[in-house]
Amino acid sequence: MNTRSKNPWKRIFLYLFVFAVCVVILYPYFVMFTTAVKSNEEMYSTTAGILPKEWKLNNLIDVWTQAPILKYMLNSIIVAGGATILAILCGIPAAYALSRMRFKGKGFFMGAVIMSQMFSPVVLLVGISRMMSAIGLKDSLLGLILLNAAFNQAFAIWLLRGTFTSISSEMEQAAKIDGCGTVQALIRILLPMAAPGIITTLIFVFINSWNEYTIALTLISTDALKPITVGINVFYGFNMIQWQYLFATSIYATIPVIILFLCIEKHLVAGLTSGGVKG
């Protein structure tokens, strides 16, 4: 617990531990990369080495023509982007009311928001798919946008409320005295000050929706509407799995998300836990 331990044995033990952790974490990514550039024969070889014998870097380019990967990616961008915008547009006013106003049922609403976390889309799938077919959104990107936005609403409100609460309302009050309306005060004063928190929320909802698998798997049947998480199943045939293309696609689907995540990691965790403590 000392921020700096001086005992050399402790140091060595620490580095060994950290090294082991790094190796285990990186292993699946190592497998993903090395398998993505293997030839089909080597893939199923029972005498393979740790590294590919022949590096077929072409796989990483060929994969784009093997399946409509670009289409899947675009679908993912539409779904995740749409869900993010919707979740934020609904979340900002709600978080604003929760952090700046007193009203009856505030506690109840907060409780309901937290409870909504308990109902994951998977357990509701029977109800969701019935409702979506009833309103004709079963096999559509709009349906995925609405669902992803709704199931991320709790997190969006949680993170945004935490950000708004941490900003003093004095500036807004001053603006109101100067004749600024509530909405104007929110847009001109609070939102710019809350920008880091809002960006964190945006990215977090985007990643969640990008990575979502189960709803899309159940609702989408048209190939041209599949997001990337479901689309990669094309390489997953009944008797033949094209692992190299599966992993090449996975690389493309993973890298942008990891980069985005690294940008917000610090803010995100602070937001999650502070929201919880002060609940």
Residues 109-168 touching another protein, rule: CB under 8 A, are 109, 112-113, 115-120, 122-128, 130-131, 146-147, 149-151, 153, 157
Contact (CB, 8 A) for 228 and 72: yes
Considering the complex, state which of residue 112 and residue 224 has its C-beta at the smaller distance from another protein.
Answer: 112
Judged by beta carbon, residue 165 or residue 214, the one nearer another protein is 214
The least CB distance from residue 62 to another protein, in Å, is: 19
Q: From 19-27, 53-61, 66-74, 191-199, give the range in contact with another protein by CB under 8 A.
A: 19-27
CB 84 within 8 A of CB 205: yes
Phi and psi angles of residue 241, each rounded to the nearest 5 degrees, phi first: -105, 125
Q: Residue 244: which of 81, 29, 35 has the closest Cα? A: 35
Which of the residues 171 through 230 are near another protein (CB under 8 A)? Answer: 173, 177, 182, 207, 210-211, 213-214, 218, 229
Q: Counting contacts by CB under 8 A, is residue 41 touching another protein? A: no
Please tell me whether residue 265 binds another protein under the rule CB under 8 A.
yes
CB of 90 to another protein, least distance (A): 4
Our finding on whether 254 is near another protein (CB under 8 A) is: yes
Residue 74 touching another protein (CB under 8 A): no
7 token code pair:
């005992």
Q: Which of 7, 12, 14, 199 binds another protein (CB under 8 A)?
A: 14
Residue among 88, 261, 270, 89 at smallest CA distance from 162: 270
φ/ψ of 236, rounded to 5, equals: -110, 65
CA angle 140, 145, 146 (to 5 degrees): 100
Cβ 196 to another protein shortest distance, Å = 15
Within 13 Å, how many C-alpha atoms sit on residue 19's CB side? 6
Binding mask 79-108 for another protein (x = CB under 8 A): -------x--xxx-xx-xxx--xxx--x--
Contact 242/235 with Cβ under 8 angstroms?
yes
Binding test (CB under 8 A) with another protein, winner from 31, 142, 187, 240? 31
Determine if 237 is a binding residue for another protein (CB under 8 A).
Answer: no
End-to-end CA distance of the chain: 29
